[in-house]
A and B are shown apart, each in its own frame.
Chain A
């Protein structure tokens, strides 16, 4: 079981371990979540591109969007919506908050 607070948020990483302009993939049970520290904030998305189900970690991030290194699918990091035509599918995103220097994400079924 993954410990979570009453409101469903889970502590996944210390904020200090995710410097500006960095990204880190963390395991959440069987799933992997990609944490991205960008100029507009910290984002948590599935580390699984919905196009060919490949890991996104290491992909380029520019202007709030991540471009899958494999086949070029581009997603808005805030909404998960696709920004080009490689796939019509949406990238799963997770709500993020910072508490006491820790990054917490909310995991809901689905």
Chain B
């Protein structure tokens, strides 16, 4: 007989309701997808720590993951004009992504067919792809254009020397690639994302800030630090006054091909860890202050006990007006949850698009070079395209932060820089702790509800890698 497992879905107090209850109490009609609940609960098992540092596991990931899956490479706005290109580098694999026509994108292995030189090191543009070593040159469709001293390569047939091309797909302004020619189309792995993002179209947004940080931790360690709000109580203890960490709602949608999950962490309520006596008014005041950090010079309101709106309703309404005015857009119908809360989606294996205006981010996590102890984390802060016929803003430059450079060296992102630095301070410690674990206890133990997205990630990874 099957045993139905009963899972406790979060922890609430008198002043810190569960996300689900806050969605019910929203001052606006909530977009249907935000009411939808997941359809999958991963099997609970421990995760072997060896997969975070052994070269063998990293090699397996290269062959069976990175060469086989759809993966987010860049945004369309990163390459706005025909001929623009960027490299997409995952471990020691690299691809060049280029705009080959006004609405056409292509991706090729980023390696010259002459003697193997990398063709594209950074964002660039031009009518062709030309190798810096001997000037072998390809057209934007990947066909061979020119070989200097052509007479010396009589064995080279032009038709056989097109750059090896990989599959490209787009959704919501995101460009994805898949090196596997036999892979199903992108749409099959996006799962619920296109339907769920209809209320907040990603194609109508642009990258306002773009930071890439090198991290001394395996890419999965870095990713997993951002898939749960369980760490807020210790890692971001100064956010507890206004963050419903334990009230967070987690959901997973899995149909066997698409692997998507989501968290909704409510803001402008105190953490349930602070108990029934925590101040709901102080949570509202602090939320006002935090959101105001992105708008220097703007007067910061206070909780109004005489307002007919709830505390969260008040902050949401203020955000609708401030953001709406700044962007010349009407945000009047947007629900409180989409104006305030952290709504983060995850698509296997490494892509997190966030929903709404609470925390409009995009995360991407990548292995860095050949060393499984190092990774890249890319963070984009996005904003809706300005209304009133204003032109699309130019792509944000990429700020690269080296291993020891803190996010706080970029104060433009306000309180987020402290929050990221708090996360970053953990990551090298996790990596070294993992490597030094007792052989008898070299496994991670995951929380049943709050860490289920990490469990799900490993469920999919294990199936794909066969290990």
Tell me how many residues of B have a C-beta within 8 Å of chain A.
13
Question: Which residues of chain B in 402-448 are interfacial with respect to chain A, using CB atoms and an 8 Å cutoff?
Answer: 411, 414-415, 418, 421-422, 425-426
A51 interface residue per 8 A CB criterion: yes
B421/A53 in contact, CB under 8 A: yes
A52/B415 in contact, CB under 8 A: no
Question: Which residues of chain A in 70-106 are interfacial with respect to chain B, using CB atoms and an 8 Å cutoff?
Answer: 70
What is the CB-to-nearest-CB distance from B368 to chain A, in angstroms, rounded to a whole number?
A: 23
Known: A52-B235, A55-B237, A55-B238. A30 touches B422 (CB 8 A): no
B415/A54 in contact, CB under 8 A: no
A51–B235 Cα distance when bound, in Å, is: 11
In the complex, which residue of chain B has the Cβ closest to the Cβ of A47?
B238
Which of A30, A52, A53, A55 meets B293, CB within 8 Å? A30
Which of A30, A48, A51, A70 meets B414, CB within 8 Å? A30
What is the CB-to-nearest-CB distance from A65 to chain B, in angstroms, rounded to a whole number?
A: 21
A53/B415 in contact, CB under 8 A: no
Interface centre among B234, B235, B238, B422 (most CB of A within 10 A): B238
Q: Which chain B residues border A30 with CB–CB below 8 Å? A: 293, 411, 414-415, 418
A54–B233 Cα distance when bound, in Å, is: 11
In the complex, which residue of chain A has the Cβ closest to the Cβ of B297?
A1
- The A interface, classified by DSSP as helix, strand, loop or mixed, is loop
A52/B422 in contact, CB under 8 A: yes
Tell me how many residues of A have a C-beta within 8 Å of chain B.
8
What is the CB-to-nearest-CB distance from A87 to chain B, in angstroms, rounded to a whole number?
A: 9
In the complex, which residue of chain B has the Cβ closest to the Cβ of A57?
B238
B426/A52 in contact, CB under 8 A: yes
Known: A30-B293, A70-B237. A54 touches B414 (CB 8 A): no
What is the CB-to-nearest-CB distance from B119 to chain A, in angstroms, rounded to a whole number?
A: 40
Q: Which chain B residues border A48 with CB–CB below 8 Å? A: 418
A52–B415 Cα distance when bound, in Å, is: 16
In the complex, which residue of chain B has the Cβ closest to the Cβ of A54?
B237
Q: Which chain B residues border A70 with CB–CB below 8 Å? A: 234, 237
The interface bits of chain B over 219-249 (1 if a CB of A lies within 8 angstroms of the residue's CB, else 0) are 0000000000000001101100000000000
Q: Which chain B residues border A52 with CB–CB below 8 Å? A: 235, 422, 425-426
In the complex, which residue of chain A has the Cβ closest to the Cβ of B415?
A30
A53/B422 in contact, CB under 8 A: yes
A65–B315 Cα distance when bound, in Å, is: 40
In the complex, which residue of chain A has the Cβ closest to the Cβ of B411?
A30
B425/A53 in contact, CB under 8 A: yes
A52–B427 Cα distance when bound, in Å, is: 11
In the complex, which residue of chain B has the Cβ closest to the Cβ of A27?
B289
What is the CB-to-nearest-CB distance from B76 to chain A, in angstroms, rounded to a whole number?
A: 33
Q: Which chain A residues border B418 with CB–CB below 8 Å? A: 30, 48, 53
Q: Which chain A residues border B421 with CB–CB below 8 Å? A: 53
What is the CB-to-nearest-CB distance from B287 to chain A, in angstroms, rounded to a whole number?
A: 15
A54–B411 Cα distance when bound, in Å, is: 18
A54/B293 in contact, CB under 8 A: no
Question: Which residues of chain B in 232-287 are interfacial with respect to chain A, using CB atoms and an 8 Å cutoff?
Answer: 234-235, 237-238
Question: Which residues of chain A in 39-65 are interfacial with respect to chain B, using CB atoms and an 8 Å cutoff?
Answer: 48, 51-55
Q: Interface residues, chain B, CB within 8 Å of chain A? A: 234-235, 237-238, 293, 411, 414-415, 418, 421-422, 425-426
Per CB-CB distance, the 4 closest pairs between chain A and chain B, nearest first, are A53-B422, A55-B238, A52-B425, A53-B421
> Could you pull out 22 A-B pairs where Cβ atoms are within 8 angstroms?
A30-B293, A30-B411, A30-B414, A30-B415, A30-B418, A48-B418, A51-B425, A52-B235, A52-B422, A52-B425, A52-B426, A53-B418, A53-B421, A53-B422, A53-B425, A54-B237, A54-B238, A54-B422, A55-B237, A55-B238, A70-B234, A70-B237
Q: Interface residues, chain A, CB within 8 Å of chain B? A: 30, 48, 51-55, 70
Q: List 12 extra interface pairs beyond A54-B238, A70-B237, CB under 8 A.
A: A30-B293, A30-B414, A30-B415, A52-B235, A52-B422, A52-B425, A53-B418, A53-B421, A53-B425, A54-B237, A54-B422, A70-B234
